[in-house]
Amino acid sequence: MQKIIPHLWFDTEAKQAAVFYTTLFKNSKIGNVTTITDTPSGNCDIVSFTLSNLDCMAISAGPHFKLNPAISFFAQFESEAEIQTVWNALIGGGKALMPYDTYPWAQKYGWLEDKYGLSWQLSYKENTPVEQQITPFLMFTKDQAGKAKEALETYTTIFPESTIEAIVPYAKEDGDKEGFIKHSRFTLSGQQFMAMESSLQHEFSFNEAFSIIVRCETQQEIDYYWEKLSAVAEAEQCGWLKDKYGVSWQIVPTIMNEMMASQDKEKIARVTQAFLSMKKFDIAKLQEAYQG
């Protein structure tokens, strides 16, 4: 089971965005769609879906948070025809952040923001095997610029089966601060991530719109990740926390999948009201609410 799940926050478009994305990539599908009621954001659709074998989740929960390029999806392709098709689909109604073109690091590459606000980096490089087609990509900006290496070392210490595979610093001639991370690859619990940082002027930084779910089997595991990651007390709510680098995480028991997939609306309503009052999730209390 995939332990770490990218989670996307939308205003009202979670279902249509997930359906759109799953049409673009092989080995993709919609999983479960659940509507929870009587939340501070009203009724919220929660969507689980898979993109090219990567489990993801999305929620429609109002205009409180907006997706931005601080965390994007880096998608690699095996042919120029494939990347061109996906670029053409994603750019519709969106905008280019870096033009789709040939660059020193790829035969074809482009960075865009789609019509739902999600950022994508698309890349095709000849003779490069694609192991994980879609990879979450973190960009450390503003006050977090210069902290990427420390963050990667922190994360890979916290999560088992984690390593830093590559760190490439900016050279003097690269147009950013020499020594800052130009590109990096790392693995958390078997899942690939990428990261970079920039000292240039950017209007965005990490926020709750793109968070990272950590699936936990036990209360002990929830307690462990909560203690290791939470650094902003006022951000703790409903299983959500924010670490010292500004990245948002959700520490969630795996049993929640079964609870929220229930066809019993009363059970879902009880669980919803229970977790809305929590900061860190309490599995025993969630089970009690589920059973009524």
**Across 26-35, 230-239, 253-262, least confident range:** 253-262
How many Å apart are CA 17 and CA 94, to the nearest integer? Answer: 13
How many Å apart are CA 93 and CA 133, to the nearest integer? Answer: 24
pLDDT value, residue 253: 97
Task: Please give the tally of structural domains in the chain.
Answer: 2
Which of these three, 163, 197, 231, is where a domain ends? 197
- Inside any domain, residue 202: no
- Which of 110-114, 200-204, 273-277 is most confident? 110-114
Task: Say if residue 77 is in the same domain as residue 47.
Answer: no
Task: Say if residue 180 is in the same domain as residue 287.
Answer: no
Q: For 174-212, how does the pLDDT look when each residue is reduced to its tens digit (9 = 90+)?
A: 888 999 999 999 999 999 999 999 999 999 999 999 999
Cβ 210 vs Cβ 8: under 8 Å? yes
- Inside any domain, residue 145: yes
CATH number of the domain at 184, please: 3.30.720.110
Q: For 210-234, how does the pLDDT look when each residue is reduced to its tens digit (9 = 90+)?
A: 999 999 999 999 999 999 999 999 9
According to DSSP, the residues that pair with 60 across neighbouring strands are: 10, 45
How many Å apart are CA 125 and CA 105, to the nearest integer? Answer: 8
- Inside any domain, residue 128: yes
- Inside any domain, residue 15: yes
Cβ 77 vs Cβ 87: under 8 Å? no
Give the closest residue to 191 by CA, choosing from 167, 221, 212.
Answer: 212
Instruction: Give the SS3 label for residue 90.
Output: helix
CATH number of the domain at 59, please: 3.10.180.10
Q: pTM for the whole thing?
A: 0.96
Q: For 135-148, how does the pLDDT look when each residue is reduced to its tens digit (9 = 90+)?
A: 999 999 999 999 99
Helix axes 219-229, 283-291, angle to 10 degrees: 130
Task: Say if residue 51 is in the same domain as residue 75.
Answer: no
Which of these three, 145, 174, 197, is where a domain ends? 197
Task: Say if residue 124 is in the same domain as residue 185.
Answer: yes
Range of the domain at 137: 71-197
- Inside any domain, residue 162: yes
pLDDT at 260 over 90: no
Which of these three, 197, 221, 242, is where a domain ends? 197
Task: Say if residue 274 is in the same domain as residue 241.
Answer: yes
- Inside any domain, residue 130: yes
**Residue 220 CA from chain centroid, whole number:** 24
- Inside any domain, residue 96: yes
Cβ 166 vs Cβ 185: under 8 Å? yes
Task: Say if residue 54 is in the same domain as residue 78.
Answer: no
Task: Say if residue 14 is in the same domain as residue 122.
Answer: no
Task: Say if residue 34 is in the same domain as residue 114.
Answer: no
How many Å apart are CA 88 and CA 90, to the nearest integer? Answer: 6
